[in-house]
Amino acid sequence: MIKKEVQFTVDVFKSIDDLMPADLSLLSAARETTQAAYAPYSNFLVGAVAQLSNGAIVKGTNQENASYPVGLCAERVLLSAISSQFPNMAIQTMAISYHHLKGKSDHPISPCGMCRQSLVEYEQRVKQSFRIILSGMTGEVYIIEKATDLLPFPFSSSDLASGR
């Protein structure tokens, strides 16, 4: 038996003011984009913005529904928009923020498990990882080097490959 250790590094910044200009601008856009969320049930507005390798900026927000499970997270709305408008285009950096209308928005949140699965598949599909910036409307900012860091041992297309 051997023990395998899985670890990853998070860069922690005190506030948005400590970021380099490109990251500051992307996180500002994510914070602003929370306003476009449709989240009347949770009051939890999430904004995700990506800078693609061709320089394009694409936005996504969470979109809820009276039939709760129909709702979509901002991250998967964003990936669907990217995939539809710029098929197979690599992402350089994605910034994710949120505005909790009935609570605090002062610390980073990280993508739910379902979104992590989608983020990882996007990296695998275009064969390029992307950085993820996480923060609320105020407070600390986390930067993660690649989506795969958030989901060790992912299920992926290679697991579906036929044995023949």
Q: Which residue in the list 75, 121, 123, 145 is annotated as catalytic?
A: 75
Question: The tokens of 36 are what?
Answer: 């476009």
Instruction: Give the contacts of 111 (CB within 8 A, at least 6 positions apart).
Output: 73, 75, 96, 119, 132, 150
Question: Please, are residues 134 and 150 in contact by the beta-carbon 8 Å criterion?
Answer: no
**Site track for ligand THU across 102-141, x = CB under 6 A:** ---------xx--x--------------------------
Q: How far apart are CA 8 and CA 28, in angstroms?
A: 25
Q: Which residue number, 18 or 106, has a Cβ lying nearer to ligand THU?
A: 106
Q: How far apart are CA 42 and CA 30, in angstroms?
A: 19
Does residue 75 carry a catalytic annotation? Answer: yes
Burial class (CB in 10 A: 0-12, 13-18, 19+), 152: exposed
Contact positions with ligand THU (CB under 6 A) in 25-84: 39, 42, 44, 46, 62, 64, 71, 73-75
Instruction: Give the contacts of 149 (CB within 8 A, at least 6 positions apart).
Output: 8
Q: Interface with ligand THU includes 144 (CB under 6 A)? A: no
Q: Tell me the site size for ligand THU, rule CB under 6 A.
A: 13
Question: The tokens of 24 are what?
Answer: 């500051």
Catalytic residues: 75
Binding site for ligand THU (CB under 6 A): 39, 42, 44, 46, 62, 64, 71, 73-75, 111-112, 115
